[in-house]
């Protein structure tokens, strides 16, 4: 006894990501004028596999969608009587955008200065009690200046 040739074909395959991992739960749709009743849809199983087992001979379009991935679209898949066509498709990640937002307030210190400063006006100079009226007496009154420190010569 010999089996007769089947009048329908099949489309099987696996849906993977760019790193080779399988994608379960992807929506897979085939459409063709040969399909009575319109497009047929399946969801990939836990191994990322899809199967359309009884497709009439004709030219088909394959669409695969999964949130977070770019939609896969393929045209002109020819399925003949008794033929099984296998497709391994790769979905690329879509719409990945990464941004870094840095928020902060400006420093309270003047970045260009040392952070220390002494400004003497004419009234300040007249009000400083000194033993003499020498310029060195005024300089010695500035913060950080010491007559006994070797670095302030």
Looking at the domain 9-91, which fold is it?
Immunoglobulin-like (2.60.40)
Domain coordinates of the chain in residue numbers?
9-91
What local confidence, expressed as pLDDT, does residue 87 receive? 92
Between the alpha carbon of residue 98 and those of residues 18, 95, 101, the distances in Å are 19, 10, 10
Model confidence, pTM: 0.58
Length of the chain in terms of residues written: 153
Instruction: Find tokens 């950080």 and name the residue.
Output: 144
Q: Are 22 and 29 in contact (CB under 8 A)?
A: no
1 band by pLDDT with thresholds 50, 70 and 90? very low
Q: Are 80 and 9 in contact (CB under 8 A)?
A: yes
Measured CA to CA, the distance from residue 14 to residue 12 in angstroms comes to 7
Q: Which segment of 13-17, 83-87, 99-103 scores lowest on mean pLDDT? A: 99-103
What local confidence, expressed as pLDDT, does residue 13 receive? 95
CB atoms within 10 A of CB 12: 14
Give the pLDDT confidence of 9-65 residue by residue, as tens digits.
999 999 999 999 999 999 999 999 989 889 999 999 999 999 999 899 999 999 999
57-96 burial string, b = 16+ CB within 10 Å, else e? beebebbbebeebeebeeeebebeeeeebebebebeeeee
Measured CA to CA, the distance from residue 3 to residue 143 in angstroms comes to 106
Q: Are 136 and 130 in contact (CB under 8 A)?
A: no
CA atoms within 13 A on the CB side of 17: 13
CA-closest candidate to residue 71, choices 44, 97, 94, 40 = 94
């Amino acid at each position: 006894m010999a089996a007769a040739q089947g009048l329908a074909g099949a489309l099987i395959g696996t849906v993977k990501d760019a790193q080779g991992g399988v994608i379960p739960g992807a929506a897979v749709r085939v459409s063709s004028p040969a399909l009575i009743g319109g497009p047929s849809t399946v969801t990939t199983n836990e191994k990322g596999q899809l199967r359309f087992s009884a497709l009439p001979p004709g030219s088909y379009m394959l669409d695969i969608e999964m949130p977070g991935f770019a939609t896969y679209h393929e045209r002109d898949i020819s399925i003949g009587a008794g033929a099984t066509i296998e497709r391994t498709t790769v979905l690329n990640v879509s719409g990945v955008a990464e941004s870094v937002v840095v928020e902060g307030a400006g420093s309270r210190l003047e970045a260009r200065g040392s952070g220390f400063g002494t400004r003497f006006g004419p009234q300040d100079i007249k009000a400083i009690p000194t033993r003499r009226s020498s310029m060195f007496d005024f300089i010695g009154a500035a913060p950080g200046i010491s007559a006994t420190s070797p670095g302030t010569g």
